[in-house]
Amino acid sequence: MTMSHPDTSPATPLNMSVHSVPTPDDGSSQRTRSGRLKMLLVLAICAAPVVASYLSYYVIRPQGRVNYGTLIMPPKPIPSDAGLPLTDLQGRVVKTASLKGQWLLVTVAGGACDHRCENLLYLQRQLRETLGKDKDRVDRVWFVSDKAPVPAALMGGLKGAWVLRASSADLQRWLSPDKGQALEAHMYLVDPRGDWMMRFPDQADPSRVKKDLARLMKASESWDQAGR
């Protein structure tokens, strides 16, 4: 009788294959990234005409063309209502956002309005008038930096202008004078988005200021419309 013997050959090693574990569905994160990219693209498209107009006339300018006013780069956005509380002469609150939509020629002075203040207010008015058809794209703003009453004799020349009270300390968080000058020494230019973008020198030459304004009106005519 033949008897079988148990298999005494060496045991065959057990091979195990490890397959990649499925990753969680990342569709949500992809959609988030896509949404952010689209938002950035929209913002870039909206800002492009403004940036291009500044660059073409004041940075990549033809030889011999020199801007008279000091270009503020980057422009400084107007503060929020909390950062720049504004009231009219009757004490009513005015929102900073209401100033957007127009180019602004800005002066700063106390309510008593000394000789320099009067000259700047007169220059504001005359410069706007010299812009002809483009004058409706520009508003005049006088920030009264104290509580002093405004002389009634001045009000006739301020028809159509914004006359708003704001503290000098709050204004200096947005606007700043040239080195060694007072905030009241200059006229400031703000674009329709509410960004301070230029400062004109003390005792500015009206004809040279007008040239800067005319260039900006031309450079921005493709994206800025008259009126609010």
Predicted pLDDT at 49? 56
| Per-residue model confidence (pLDDT) at position 30 | 65
Q: Which domains does the chain have, with CATH numbers?
A: 69-220 (3.40.30.10)
Give dist(CA 192, CA 102) in Å, integer: 4
Output the pLDDT for position 11: 47
Question: What is the overall mean pLDDT for the chain?
Answer: 83
Report pLDDT digits (tens) over 120-153: 999 999 999 999 999 999 999 999 999 999 999 9
In this predicted model, what pLDDT tens digit does every residue of 39-52 receive, in sequence order? 666 555 555 555 55
Q: What is the pLDDT of residue 222?
A: 83
pTM: predicted TM-score of the whole model, two decimal places? 0.74
- Residue 6: band (very low, low, confident or very high) from pLDDT cuts 50, 70, 90: very low
Query: Is 200 buried (19+), middle (13-18) or exposed (0-12) by CB count in 10 A?
Result: buried
User: Residue 83: CB partners within 8 Å, gap ≥ 6?
Assistant: 170, 173, 174
Asked whether residue 17 carries a pLDDT value surpassing 60, the answer given is no
- Residues β-bridged to residue 138: 103
Share of the chain above pLDDT 90, in %: 67
- Distance linking the first and last C-alpha atoms of the chain: 114
Q: Tell me the per-residue pLDDT of 155-208, one tens digit each, with 9 for 90 and over.
A: 999 999 999 999 999 999 999 999 999 999 999 999 999 999 999 999 999 999
Nearest to 195 by CA among 54, 44, 40: 54
- Rounded to whole angstroms, the Cα distance separating 225 from 106 reads 20
